[in-house]
């Protein structure tokens, strides 16, 4: 039975409730955790982009284990992870998951005048390992290349080179190279096996009247790249046009002028340099717990009444707030404790030509009065996008021709990567958002799915439970 959204709640509260419900759900498999994170944050990016602060993303102190978003555990798991300990877990904004930036750097001399421009084939170097992997080499074009080579801009000892661009109408991909005069600190490796490096960027396209657009509104702050040596890193940024312009009625022209402004590059430090909780605050918390008749062990916590849980939460919040009064910078992101930071600015201007090779759009226009259905499906060499009406109650699910789930991207819940999938035919399902996150997706990610599939496949489960289904043929049999 379809669960209804409480329309008496403000829009943001409805969204927060759904996101919290997803992130609070226990997932037994690392892959499932990663995919849940991607889907939840893609939902945020796609439907609430621009509603969060650019430089003061929430930082939280958490009782659970892990000190990085890639290592986050569910709230339920935290409650059973041992006695209450003050763990410093940061959450760098809702855009943890997003459009990818993929950078590769090949500078061999820190003197810019002596650098040889050998960064013109970044896509070719990285294309197999990108979130949206594919054969970019034959599709991308050099950016602003002239007799002097590619444009490089140096600010505060860091040189960024804008290398290549690929635009297919669905998204804009840019490859960058970043070279720091000083060695970069060891960087945390995320669950995808890549360094956790972010950027703060705005973009201005000449085909709209928007002015500067925060890159987050069409993508993600996170990058997808590779450290080549202690001075150099690599990346590709992806701006999802559908994510930003879907409700604006803006068509992407065949060619357009772009201004790109990068203000900051920040990586997550491997070494934890965040200030420890002062012993005095820990003792005050423990003393207050005892004064209220509350034990400190895991067994004690399991026996807490609801009133006792509220009391413990209040005491913990008091300790947390006192910690942040001592270290207010911990409430900002990025910051000196969690990150290494390269400050710009780096400003680029360049022209982009749209490449429509192997781009197929299927207009469906099958939407009912409640917004349930599909407007169109577009397939490019890199991604497949399902165009629907904006509705927080629904979540689109795409299966390839073999019945395999196509993972939602980190930037948009309506977009999936086509890499590794037979997309001659796809099945698009629209499910109740909460039901899918709470019940249906776990069937696919379960450890014993192969055995379950002998009785009922994931496709058959969706046939039974989805609110809507449409088969899309891209290649005639």
- pLDDT tens readout for residues 251-293: 999 999 999 999 999 999 998 889 999 999 999 999 999 999 9
Domain end among 306, 334, 362:
334
Domain end among 286, 304, 334:
334
Asked whether 402 and 423 are in contact (CB, 8 A), the reply is: no
Pair (347, 234) in one structural domain: yes
Query: Is residue 327 domain-resident?
Result: yes
Pair (45, 118) in one structural domain: no
> What is the average pLDDT across 179-204?
94
| Percent with pLDDT over 90 in the chain | 58
Query: Is residue 411 domain-resident?
Result: no
Query: Is residue 154 domain-resident?
Result: yes
Task: Give the model's confidence band at 149: pLDDT under 50 very low, under 70 low, under 90 confident, else very high.
Answer: low
Q: What is the DSSP letter of 12?
A: H
More confident of the two residues 235 and 118: 235
> What is the average pLDDT across 200-207?
96
Residue 40 has pLDDT above 60, yes or no: no
Pair (330, 245) in one structural domain: no
Pair (53, 160) in one structural domain: no
> Facing residues of 234 across strands?
103, 226
Per-residue pLDDT, 146: 56
Pair (171, 226) in one structural domain: yes
> What is the average pLDDT across 206-225?
91
Pair (87, 149) in one structural domain: no
Number of domains, the chain = 2
CATH number at 164 reads: 2.60.40.1630
Cα separation, 170 vs 234, whole angstroms: 23
Cα separation, 375 vs 387, whole angstroms: 5
> What is the average pLDDT across 350-374?
94
Pair (58, 172) in one structural domain: no
Cα separation, 249 vs 272, whole angstroms: 46
Pair (109, 30) in one structural domain: no
Q: What's the pTM? A: 0.73
C-alpha closest to that of 372 among 433, 295, 415: 433
3 state SS of 308: helix
> What is the average pLDDT across 350-358?
94
C-alpha closest to that of 347 among 266, 218, 259: 259
Query: Is residue 323 domain-resident?
Result: yes
Pair (261, 125) in one structural domain: yes
Pair (54, 108) in one structural domain: no
Domain end among 353, 383, 400:
353
Pair (139, 189) in one structural domain: yes
In tens, the pLDDT along 293-321 reads 999 999 999 999 999 999 999 999 999 99
Domain range for 123: 102-271+340-353
Query: Is residue 305 domain-resident?
Result: yes
C-alpha closest to that of 100 among 166, 33, 186: 166
């Amino acid at each position: 039975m379809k669960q209804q959204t409480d329309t008496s709640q403000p829009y943001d509260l409805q969204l927060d409730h759904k996101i919290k419900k997803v992130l609070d759900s226990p997932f037994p498999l690392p892959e499932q955790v990663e995919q849940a994170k991607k889907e939840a944050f893609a939902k945020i990016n796609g439907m609430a982009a621009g509603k969060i602060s650019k430089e003061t993303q929430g930082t939280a102190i958490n009782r659970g284990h892990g000190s990085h978003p890639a290592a986050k555990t569910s709230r339920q798991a935290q409650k059973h992870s041992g006695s209450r300990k003050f763990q410093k877990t940061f959450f760098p904004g809702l855009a943890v998951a997003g459009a990818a930036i993929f950078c590769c750097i090949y500078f061999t001399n820190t003197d810019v005048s002596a650098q040889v421009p050998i960064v013109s084939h970044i896509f070719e170097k990285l294309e197999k390992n990108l979130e949206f992997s594919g054969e970019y080499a034959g599709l991308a074009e050099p950016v602003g290349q002239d007799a002097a080579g590619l444009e490089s801009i140096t600010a505060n000892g860091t040189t960024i080179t804008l290398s290549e661009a690929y635009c297919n109408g669905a998204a804009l991909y840019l490859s960058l190279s970043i070279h720091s005069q000083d060695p970069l600190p060891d960087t945390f490796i995320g669950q995808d096996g890549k360094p956790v490096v972010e950027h703060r960027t705005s973009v201005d396209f000449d085909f709209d009247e928007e002015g500067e657009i925060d890159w987050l509104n069409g993508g993600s702050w996170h990058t997808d790249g590779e450290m080549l040596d202690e001075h150099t890193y690599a990346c590709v940024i992806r701006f999802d046009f559908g994510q930003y312009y879907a409700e604006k009625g803006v068509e992407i022209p065949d060619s357009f002028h772009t201004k790109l402004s990068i203000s900051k590059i920040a990586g997550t430090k491997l070494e934890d340099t965040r200030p420890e909780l002062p012993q005095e605050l820990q003792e005050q918390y423990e003393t207050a717990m005892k004064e209220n008749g509350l034990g400190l062990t895991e067994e004690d916590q399991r026996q807490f009444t609801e009133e006792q849980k509220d009391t413990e939460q209040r005491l913990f919040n008091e300790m947390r707030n006192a910690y942040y009064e001592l270290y207010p910078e911990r409430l900002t992101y990025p910051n000196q404790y969690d990150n290494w930071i390269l400050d710009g600015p780096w400003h680029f201007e360049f022209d982009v030509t749209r490449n429509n090779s192997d781009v197929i759009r299927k207009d469906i226009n099958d939407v009912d009065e409640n917004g349930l259905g599909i407007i169109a499906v577009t397939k490019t060499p890199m991604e497949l996008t399902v165009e629907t009406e904006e509705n927080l109650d629904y979540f689109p699910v795409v299966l390839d021709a073999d019945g395999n789930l196509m993972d939602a991207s980190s930037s948009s819940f309506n977009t999936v990567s086509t890499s590794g999938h037979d997309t001659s035919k796809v099945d698009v399902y629209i499910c109740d958002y909460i039901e899918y996150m709470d019940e249906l997706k776990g069937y696919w990610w379960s450890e014993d799915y192969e055995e379950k599939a002998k009785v009922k496949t994931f496709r058959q489960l969706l046939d039974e439970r989805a609110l809507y289904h449409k088969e899309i043929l891209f290649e005639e049999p």
